[in-house]
Amino acid sequence: MAYMHGTTILGVRRDGVVVMGSDGQVSLQDTIMKENAKKVQSLHNGEILVGFAGAVADALTLFSMFEEKIDKYPKNLPKAIIEFAKSWRKDKYLRKLEALLGVMDKEDSFILSGSGEVIRPDDGIVAIGSGGGYALSAARGLLEYSSLDARTIVEVAIKLASRVCVYTNDNISIEVIEDE
């Protein structure tokens, strides 16, 4: 069976700015099918950023389900996340997806999976996909040892990941939540 493999999604928060970005590569087994895909979306009037590692059709389904939960709990992202994770886990079809979501707003960061995992990273950095570990390491270093802004950190960390992960390229798309 053919499946989508790999991606890099990275989200960081610095100085009141939340940035989530992704590489643009879509791979089908060992073939690059697309180089400029957009894997991060802004939801709920630009207040929430969501990145997806997995198949596009699955992403659209999950984004729709997640938006329903956000609408039901509009000012409580943690509650919307828990309710979404429960629904995802209970759905016989969706829970079989090997998919991950990264979700951020101004205060919270989460990583979710169909197996019921809800992870709130201690440092607030969201990193998923085959290049996620590389980008996470780079972002942690840049946050600690540089004064770069959040957008630049995401761009540099994904570019560094693209030099190591064959399923990640340096065609980066970015979404931002800024202080008003």
> Is 61 in contact with 81 (CB distance < 8 Å)?
no
Dist. CA 39–CA 25, nearest whole Å: 9
Active-site choice (7, 31, 61, 168):
7
Angle at 104 between CA 101 and CA 110, to 5 degrees: 55
Banded model confidence at residue 180, pLDDT cuts 50, 70, 90: low
Domains of the chain: 4-177 (3.60.20.10)
pLDDT digits (tens, 9 = 90+) for 40-88: 999 999 999 999 988 777 777 888 889 999 999 988 999 999 999 998 8
Annotation says 7 is catalytic:
yes
Q: What is the pTM of this model?
A: 0.93
Report the pLDDT averaged over residues 112-126: 90
111's tokens: 């990583």
Report the pLDDT averaged over residues 146-167: 97
Banded model confidence at residue 28, pLDDT cuts 50, 70, 90: confident
Banded model confidence at residue 4, pLDDT cuts 50, 70, 90: very low
